Amino acid sequence: MTQDELKALVGQAALAHVVPGELVGVGTGSTVNHFIDALAGMKDRIAGAVSSSDASTARLLAHGIRVLDAAEVTQLPVYIDGADEIDGRGHMVKGGGAALTREKIVADLAERFVCIADASKQVAVLGGFPLPVEVIAMAAPRLVRRFAALGGSATLRLKADGQPLLTDNGHPLLDVRGLQITDPLAMEAEISQWPGVVTCGIFARHRASLCLLGTPAGVQTLVF
């Protein structure tokens, strides 16, 4: 199976974790797009969705799925999202799609985080994928130096035209290479306290409850 077919497989499998009659938290990215397309088939059996990005909101609305703002919601039974990396304890690196801050906000509303990913995202130690960090622009040079002190190389994420890519919140992103994230919870807590950091792309405090992993043999369910 191709990587895209594996993503479609786990997107379909995630429907089993959607609670009928309730709202569902919806993440961002290519794997989640497959989930949104599958969710359209049961849109009349859910109360609607809370989305983590403008792109996912547009896709949900195009399917006729009601979208509520996170500020209108006090709790969600489940949040379904992908990952750029996931380790054996459910800790993740996220933010390749630049939606990490809103993803954490929606994940914080949810009782359970269901990660959907293809097998290439499973790693022993986080850090192979560049760690995304949403920052306040004026702090970026200082934060680049702080990451260098940890052994990481942080660069500003740019668009094709060479201009800084901005998140849906209007902030730039740093991508940090060269980190070995052996203690995700501690590193997330440390980086999150640095002045100028909006959100760090380590999801340890908001780790996955389970992961639906797409493999050539089918969907493997990992419970953490």
Does residue 190 have a pLDDT over 90?
yes
**157-178 average pLDDT score:** 98
CATH code of the domain in which 192 resides: 3.30.70.260
CATH code at position 45: 3.40.50.1360
Q: Over the stretch 55-108, which tens digit does the pLDDT of each residue have?
A: 999 999 999 999 999 999 999 999 999 999 999 999 999 999 999 999 999 999
Residue list for the binding site for substrate: 28-31, 81-84, 94-97, 121
Q: What's the whole-number mean pLDDT along residues 1-11?
A: 93
- Shared domain check, 153 and 44: no
Query: 89 and 7 in one domain?
Result: yes
194 vs 1 pLDDT, higher one? 194
Mean pLDDT of all residues in 116-127: 97
One domain for residues 11 and 98: yes
134 labelled catalytic: no
Provide, rounded to the nearest whole percent, the portion of the chain with pLDDT above 90: 99
- Let me know whether 110 and 219 are in one domain: yes
- Domain containing residue 141: 131-200
Report how many domains make up the chain: 2
**Amino acid at site 68:** L
Catalytic residue of the set 5, 22, 85, 103: 103
Mean of the per-residue pLDDT values of the chain: 97
Say what the pLDDT of residue 1 is. 83
